[in-house]
Amino acid sequence: MIGIEAPGRLLLGLITGIVFGFLLHRSGVSKYATITGQFLLRDFTMMKMMMTAIIVGGAGAYAMHGLGWVDLTIKPMLMGGVIVGALVFGVAMAVLGYCPGTAVAACAEGRKDALMGVAGMLAGSMVYAEMFPWLKATVLSWPDKGKITLPETIGAPWWVFFLVLAAAAWLLFSWLGRKGLDEGVKG
């Protein structure tokens, strides 16, 4: 009853996941203190890592898309789902201290609280599946703006966004470094 994809594709997923998990752990973002420190604006490790990944990954993805090598997969802008979902997600992430991916990584280094977080996520998935018909009739029925991107919405080429993002990130992180505002928090 449960479908299984082709073995080659599963192996590719596993290899990609192993590198992903290694980077999540080694950068420190799989730590409770790194995530809560980011939300307390005292540790910018998470923001530095994500911004770098977005700029490097995104410039490459758009370049490869331009060459016709890859398709982009844009998620729809659901005014209810994305906004309400993300606001709820942020509250829970500040309490848990992990996101879904880093919770799995933290389990691997033996964090029992991350294991409880994963158990909570499995329970939450079951609750969500039961509540889905009601959510579909309410929050998820709010306007869907479709699979829109910033270049389409603002009318500027993609590389402008990555240049602006890189400049803004460089200014912010060097200013924080000079002011000594990202020294982090303990455990």
Window 133 to 172, contacts with other proteins (CB under 8 A):
133, 135-136, 139-140, 145, 147-151, 153, 158, 161
Q: CA 175 to CA 167: how far, in whole Å?
A: 12
Q: Does residue 66 interact with other proteins by CB under 8 A?
A: no
Among 67, 68, 129, 180, binds other proteins (CB under 8 A): 129
Q: Which 40-59 positions form the footprint of other proteins (CB under 8 A)?
A: 40-42, 44-46, 48-58
Q: How far is the CB of 155 from other proteins (least distance, A)?
A: 13
Q: Which 95-114 positions form the footprint of other proteins (CB under 8 A)?
A: 95-97, 99-114
Q: What is the DSSP letter of 90?
A: H
Contacts by residues 90-95 (CB-CB < 8 Å, ≥ 24 positions apart): 90/39, 93/35, 93/39, 94/35, 94/36, 94/39
Amino acid at 76: P
User: Residue 59 corresponds to which tokens in the numbers above?
Assistant: 């410039």
Among 66, 90, 163, 167, binds other proteins (CB under 8 A): 90
CA angle, 114 then 116 then 120, to 5°:
110
Among 68, 87, 137, 178, binds other proteins (CB under 8 A): 87
Closer of 153 and 171 to other proteins (Cβ)? 153
Report CA 184 to chain centroid distance, whole Å: 21
Q: How far is the CB of 5 from other proteins (least distance, A)?
A: 5
Q: Does residue 122 interact with other proteins by CB under 8 A?
A: yes
Tell me the site size for other proteins, rule CB under 8 A. Answer: 132
Q: Does residue 13 interact with other proteins by CB under 8 A?
A: yes
Q: How far is the CB of 167 from other proteins (least distance, A)?
A: 15
CB within 8 A of 108, min separation 6: which ones?
21, 25
User: Residue 8 corresponds to which tokens in the numbers above?
Assistant: 């080659």
User: Residue 160 corresponds to which tokens in the numbers above?
Assistant: 């402008």
